[in-house]
Structure 1
Amino acid sequence: MQSWDAYVLAREDGLGYQLSAFGKAVRQAYGFDTIYLTARIHRRICGILAVTRVGIPGHPGAWISSPYCDAGGILADSQDAEKVLLKAALLLAKRKGIPQVSLRSARSFAGIPPELTRHSGKARLLLDLPRNPLDLLSGLKAKVRSQVKKPIRDGLQFVMGGRELIRPFYGVFKENMRDLGSPVHSVRWMEQLLTAYKNRAHIGLVSLPDGTPAAGGLILCHRTTVSIPWASSLRCYNRLNPNMLLYWRFLEFACRQGFQHFDFGRSTPGEGTFRFKTQWGATPVFLHWADFNPFADDPAVPLVRDAGTDVSPARRAVEIILSKMPLSLATALGSSTRRFISL
């Protein structure tokens, strides 16, 4: 997969989720296979698309690009190459009996009106980075700078590393997911991400002066962009602002390493996480998600999506029940079911 990864890394608009390491991690952690499609001109790659089958046993499921994250989809040099890749994916899905192909993209699709795929309920928050982190800090509002400096004054410590930090990070992550009423990824998922991405994946951990973990996150690095798909902090320590220190250290790292962009991930406009990310100067960019039916008369026309952001009563009830479970039970339940939830 060297030529695949070389293509993704050469593209400034490539994503860490599009590297072959993502599919490897999914396979090793959750057992789902990824199919890698390439468009070529004279043997030279001019476009790529990776689709992963996600579904419960005994059901064909769906092909997703990419599962468990905001964006993946097609990366191509031209609209013609993009159309060829979409057509190939739909033909192959039909041949294999896959009823749906879902593509999550950071930009609009070739030949499809953008209003048909724009996800009005979710935006990706992107920040352009200076080379000097002090320039970034000085451009923040005084309140934000104060919230960054407070945990440092109070003796909170930040460390960045790899597999040695998985357990303390996962301890924070699973408790926060339980409190939110959201099924948690298995610890094996985090382990396999670190294994597959090697030096392109890092864990950051913020601890209290006594060493108690308070916040943590996992970042994935493309040549130009650092993405933070998973991060958590413990509510009981919110007054100490560990999350502010966590994100500042990640931003500082990204600046010093010469990355051009920081991808905070998706949020719903107007909600708390959206405001948290925009306070750093991040700009919202609406995502483009599309579902296709390979068996339709015109399979390249996306299905109509529900753009609403309201949480269904059933989902809200599940969240309440899960949030009240003992941590060990919530973790076991989440670890056994999370792989079937493609977002």
Structure 2
Amino acid sequence: MKSMLTSQLGESLEVLALAEGGEPWLAYLETDPAADICHHHAWGPIFARTFGLQSLLLLHRTAGEIDGGVPLIVFDQPLTGKALISMPFLNYGGILGRDEAVRREIAIGCRELLKRIGADYMELRHTGTGLGPIADKTRENRITYRLDINRPADEIFKSLRKQLRTRLRRAAEQNLTPYLGNDRLDDFYHLFAMAMKEHGTPVMPRRFFESVLAHLGGHARMMIAYKDGRPVGGKLVMQFKDRATMTWGCYPDRYKHLLANYHLTWELIRQSALGPIHTIDFGRSEPGSGGHDYKSNWGPVEVPIFVDYLAADPGKIPNLKPENTKFKLAIAVWKHLPLGVTKLVGPHLARYFA
């Protein structure tokens, strides 16, 4: 017998465990231009192993064929209540559908799923197009940046702004050694822990990245820059279809002068140009932030992110922005803790900061 969380939600909608989406769901993702690595069914076992979180997949079928759906993680936060998020810890997620009618039907199913699970709200991270008036609330304060690299590397370099070309030449003068692969997690994680401490954010558990590299297979790789054998900067690159997304960048302040971020970004572009990757996704940032300034400098197309909320009580949708006074003090304290303490305590707290 199917459980309450693995059941039908009408004639066209079905709820199952995300990992059970398997090849049929992956085949649909290949056909939907809005689909991203964040929709992949492998996140089910990744979040289960790392945080013990339950994951769901709400599927829409027409004549037995999948033509839409949304992956969801059941997320219980002490400060904000029980939520369904698509997708936590990731830039994107949200509802996919063959057309607007399918997406609308899935959104209606999402409301029913909220009731069945007894969750307080649902957060859906859409790119390009949001739910519009269907949503109870929408945040539009972030964008992502996508650069077309389906051309020769020298042509891309010449198209960059003069100031950026100068920085890339300076980065080359640092004699950094780039690494691309999956077997130097200790170096990457040390850099990541340092960077998260400086941001005032609890560091993700090491086993999270172990799971990402294991379950996403060839879709995920680490990039690390070395100076005289010492790791000085890194990022994790996830590839899906013809897009490579840069995420979890880690560039500690003490090494910023080495320009490792510029070096690794250009190395990824140089290696990928005219290959199967046609687009580099720089990840999300808020307009006016340092991240925005860095990413927009490469001349990408800016794509809006719509974080849509559906809620049992629209008046009680939580404020999860860092400027919320609940988080300001915690961020300030975290920045001043010893690195060893943040690496020990952070993984136990990170699950509450999706």
Same fold (TM over 0.5): yes
Q: Is the partner of 2:133 in helix, strand or coil?
A: coil
2:123 to 84, 99, 102: 102
1:166-189 Cα offsets, whole Å, 9 max, x none, are 110111110011112111111111
In structure 2, the partner of 1:138 is 158
From 332, 340, 343, the counterpart of 1:320: 332
Q: How many residues align?
A: 333
> Is the contact made by 2:135 and 2:310 (CA closer than 8 Å) also made in structure 1?
no
What is the match of residue 57 of structure 2?
36
Kept in 2: contact 1:226–1:259 (CA 8 A): yes
> In the aligned structure 2, how far is the partner of 1:330 from the partner of 1:178?
7
SS of the equivalent of 2:42 reads helix
Runs of 4+ in 1 over 6 A off after TM superposition: 302-310
Summarize the alignment of residues 92-131 of structure 1 with structure 2, pairs less than 5 Å apart.
92-110=113-131, 112=133, 117=138, 119-131=139-151
Q: Tell me how far apart the structure 2 counterparts of residues 219 and 317 of structure 1 sit (CA, whole Å).
A: 32
Q: 1:240-274 CA deviation, whole Å, 9 max, x = no partner?
A: 21111011112223324322222111111111110
Q: Which moved more, 1:253-262 or 1:14-23?
A: 253-262
How far did 1:129 drift? 2.1
Aligned residue identity for 2:29: V
1:306 Cα deviation from its structure 2 partner: 8.5
Structure 2: stretches of 5+ with no match in the other structure:
1-21
Counterpart among 54, 75, 80 of residue 101 in structure 2: 80
Any unmatched runs of 5+ in structure 1? 297-301
Q: SS in structure 1 opposite 2:276?
A: coil
Task: Give the whole-Å Cα distance in 1 for the aligned partners of 2:72 and 2:318.
Answer: 22
Match of 1:194 in 2: 213
Does structure 1 conserve the Cα–Cα contact (< 8 Å) formed by 2:135 and 2:309?
Answer: no
Q: For residue 299 of structure 1, what is the aligned residue in structure 2?
A: none
Whole-Å Cα distance in 2 between the matches of residues 3 and 126 of structure 1? 28
Question: How far apart are 1:277 and its partner, in Å?
Answer: 0.3
- 1:334 pairs, out of 339, 343, 346, with 346
Identity of aligned residues (%): 22
The one of 273, 277, 297 equivalent to 2:295 is 277
Partner of 1:153: 173
1:230 — aligned with what?
248
Shift of 1:107: 3.0
CA RMSD of aligned residues (A): 2.5
Given the alignment of the two structures, is residue 55 of structure 1 paired with residue 76 of structure 2, yes or no? yes
Q: TM-score, normalised by structure 1?
A: 0.90
Q: Within the alignment, does 1:220 sit opposite 2:241 as a pair?
A: no
> Matches of 1:170 and 1:23 in 2, distance apart?
22
CA distance in 1, matches of 2:315, 2:284: 22
**Aligned partners of 2:107 and 2:211: how far apart in 1?**
29
Q: Which has the higher contact order (CA 8 A, sep 6+)?
A: 1
